[in-house]
Structure 1
């Protein structure tokens, strides 16, 4: 199953901060961009909390922004599965190094509306596709 967390309307990108973060995170080697290296859904509330806390628990308070983690918290590939946290230039997260590889997670301060939209899109996708715990999926930029 594919979740399109980003909509494109001709040349207009609906969620530019989210698009930028997901593209950079996938380009750094994190899974989820293809079914060759998918993400796996988790419904375990503790794993989801751990993924969010480990990636964004110390994020600064910046008006209009919130911390986005990739892989998404509702995947088994988040920081609760191991690896290190990374970020990118312009993500407003000081003292976190950049990095690459298939383990770990990326954190980035993005537009709060982009981040909220992603959560809603993921929830709609999981429900409409009847995604169960352990089901593989990919996050595709469309």
Structure 2
């Protein structure tokens, strides 16, 4: 999401030069993230790895949870907390990625909802399940 926001800033500021993008990212990184890509940031400017695209890819790769980690969180740890059921569903879908279809995700989601919500939503079919999520997103 951070890079999506940065892309918007680049577009609004009409920043198209990759060197400018690289320098902007390097300047605005938190110290803990800078440490993760120090090897790239300390390369000389002409080095083939010294590119905005590589810096972005390496930050995402090095800082993102692997699909295995997301799957483990999905199956073992996630609880609804103070989220609405639709927010929780979107969160679980984000963890599931393309690995789990809704037919697997729906029972996991339902099982982690409060009992009253489970009773209501368990009677709904898949079409209503999808409609519920869309109506809650508005």
**Fold shared per TM-score above 0.5:** no
Higher helix share: 2
Normalising by the smaller structure, the TM-score range is under 0.3
Q: Which has the higher strand share?
A: 1
| TM-score normalized with structure 1 length | 0.24
Q: Which has the larger radius of gyration?
A: 2
